[in-house]
């Protein structure tokens, strides 16, 4: 992704003892990077959502293990870093996937070689993520090309929820990759960007990305999607996911389920972009997915930009009222039209998934 003419990934190594990430808590108001020097730094960056999005959480955890090995390459240090990083966020299975891959690569290797192995493996996870997302983009592009061909030159209206773009991955994104490719291929596209309360990943991050790439888009309140679907102004939906279970159920940002219900009621195709690393064959159905509960402050307090450019944090709710804040929900497979994976597109169900993403 290019920002002001410079190509960025969301995470990159600095020398052999640090990694740098884009601070997503500051976007869209400030473009800042943060240097992470230890497994603790990586764990904090994930918990505080300096980095977020399932694939990027996995990539950051992988570098967290590499940084832990740099400090102490013992088995005990490996276990400690693994447990620390695993405890950061419960829903995205990419975290488990990346940590397991790092531990499998390191265990039984001589201590003297562990730093180099860990550094290489983390870099490979990042490079593969870029290729996976590029591939999702190419498969999704075929769907958008077909849909666009029915529009007689009018823009294809795509609704997305939360941020499953390049900021959520190492580059390209999952749900947004086909949109970037369609835009680059000259297919007229317009994106309805769900605001995505409470943390506003849509209004803050997806809109920032689409703006930087020049893709026409409109931010809408989370509750407006159903209305636009009824009015025939949404041609299809594409969202990302944090975990897909063996039966095809999808965990994604809170509110995804309501969008899928509205899409079903209005005959709007509802696609989920799914990298292989987000598939969880160990769980049978979405009911088993742990749903993260985050701080009530995310609902009760908001930070925004003042006219003078400064940032201010304000309370927006009745003082003293509590709030509940589940960060994800589960969309049943029956509401999903298809999965756009790095290995092709399939129906949302066990057979389709098994054919494309074998265990």
Task: List, by residue number, the catalytic residues.
Answer: 242
Please identify which residue in 162, 182, 187, 237 interacts with ligand MRU, judged by CB under 6 A.
Answer: 162
Pick one of 105, 136, 168, 237: the residue that binds ligand MRU (CB under 6 A).
168
Backbone angles phi, psi at 6, to 5 degrees: -110, 135
Distance, CA of 338 to CA of 348 (rounded, Å):
5
What is the CA angle 169-175-181, rounded to 5?
95
CB nearer ligand MRU, residue 60 or residue 252: 252
CB of 192 to ligand MRU, least distance (A): 15
Q: 77 or 92, CB closer to ligand MRU?
A: 92
- For the segment 205-244, give every residue that binds ligand MRU (CB under 6 A): 240-242
- Judged by CB under 6 A, the residue of 200, 201, 206, 331 near ligand MRU is 201
Q: Considering the complex, what minimum distance in angstroms separates the CB of residue 253 from ligand MRU?
A: 3
Q: What is the DSSP letter of 291?
A: P
Residues whose CB falls within 8 Å of the CB of residue 9, separated by 6 or more in sequence, listed in order? 1, 126, 130, 170, 171
> Measured from the CB of residue 112, what is the shortest distance to ligand MRU in angstroms?
36
The site that binds ligand MRU (CB under 6 A) totals a number of residues, namely: 17
CA 116 to each of CA 12, 63, 67, 76, 109: distance values in angstroms, whole numbers, following the listed order: 16, 12, 11, 18, 11
73 contacts 114 by C-beta, under 8 angstroms: yes
Q: Is residue 43 a contact point for ligand MRU (CB under 6 A)? A: no
Query: Does 46 contact ligand MRU by CB under 6 A?
Result: no
With b for 16 or more beta-carbon neighbours within 10 A and e for fewer, the 154-179 pattern comes to eebbbbbbbbbbbbbbbbbbbbbbbb
Please, which residue, 135 or 252, has the CB nearer to ligand MRU?
A: 252
CA angle, residues 26, 29, 31, in degrees to nearest 5: 60
Sketch the per residue contact string, 99 through 138, with ligand MRU: x for CB under 6 A, - otherwise.
----------------------------------------
Structure tokens given for 349:
């169900």
- How far, in Å, are 14, 135, 165 from residue 72 at the CA level? 19, 37, 35
Interface map 244-263 toward ligand MRU (x if CB under 6 A): --------xx----------
- As a whole number of angstroms, the distance between CA 55 and CA 298 comes to 22
Question: Going by C-beta distance under 8 Å and a sequence separation of 6 or more, which residues neighbour residue 267?
Answer: none
Buried b (16+ CB within 10 A) or exposed e, 342-354: bbbbbbbbeebbe
Binders of ligand MRU among residues 53 to 92 (CB under 6 A) are 53-55, 92
Tell the smallest beta-carbon distance from residue 99 to ligand MRU (Å).
16
Q: Which is nearer to ligand MRU, 55 or 64 (CB)?
A: 55
Consecutive H or E run containing 330: strand 328-331
Binding of residue 331 to ligand MRU (CB under 6 A): no
Residue 53 or 64: the one with the smaller Cβ distance to ligand MRU is 53
Report, in Å, the least distance between residue 54 CB and ligand MRU.
Answer: 4
Q: Which of 174, 189, 331, 337 binds ligand MRU (CB under 6 A)?
A: 174
Q: Which residues contact 82 (CB under 8 A, 6 or more apart)?
A: 65, 99, 102, 103
Closest contact distance (angstroms) between CB of 122 and ligand MRU is: 18
| Interface positions with ligand MRU (CB under 6 A) | 52-55, 92, 162, 164, 168-169, 174, 201, 240-242, 252-253, 327
């Amino acid at each position: 992704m290019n920002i002001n003419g410079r190509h960025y990934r969301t995470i990159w190594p600095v020398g052999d003892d640090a990694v740098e990430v884009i601070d997503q808590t500051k976007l869209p108001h400030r473009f800042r990077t943060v240097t992470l020097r230890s497994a603790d730094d990586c764990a904090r960056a994930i918990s505080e959502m300096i980095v977020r999005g399932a694939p990027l959480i996995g990539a950051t955890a992988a570098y967290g293990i590499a940084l832990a090995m740099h400090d102490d390459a013992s088995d005990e240090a490996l276990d400690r870093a693994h447990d620390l990083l695993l405890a950061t966020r419960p829903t995205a299975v990419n975290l488990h996937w990346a940590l397991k891959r790092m531990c499998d690569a390191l265990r039984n290797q001589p201590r003297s070689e562990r730093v180099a192995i860990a550094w290489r493996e983390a870099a490979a996870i990042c490079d593969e993520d870029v290729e996976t997302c590029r591939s999702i983009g190419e498969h999704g592009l075929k769907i958008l090309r077909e849909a666009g061909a029915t529009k007689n030159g009018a823009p294809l209206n795509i609704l997305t929820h939360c941020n499953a773009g390049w900021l959520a991955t190492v580059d390209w994104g999952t749900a947004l990759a086909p949109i970037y490719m369609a835009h680059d291929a000259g297919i007229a596209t317009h994106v309805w960007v769900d605001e995505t309360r409470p943390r506003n990943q849509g209004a803050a991050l997806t809109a920032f990305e689409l703006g930087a790439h020049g893709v026409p888009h409109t931010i809408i309140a989370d509750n407006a999607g159903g209305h636009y679907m009824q009015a025939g102004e949404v041609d299809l939906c594409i969202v990302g996911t944090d975990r897909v279970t063996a039966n095809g159920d999808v965990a994604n940002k809170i509110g995804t389920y309501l969008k899928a219900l509205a899409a079903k009621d209005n005959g709007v195709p509802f696609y989920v972009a799914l990298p292989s690393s987000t598939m969880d064959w160990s769980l049978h159905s979405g009911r088993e997915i742990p749903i993260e509960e985050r701080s009530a402050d995310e609902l009760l307090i908001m930070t925004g930009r003042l006219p003078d450019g400064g940032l201010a944090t304000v309370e927006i709710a009745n003082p003293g009222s509590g709030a509940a804040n589940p960060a994800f929900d589960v969309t049943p497979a029956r509401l999903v039209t298809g999965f756009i994976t790095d290995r092709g597109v399939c129906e949302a169900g066990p057979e389709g998934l098994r054919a494309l993403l074998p265990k």
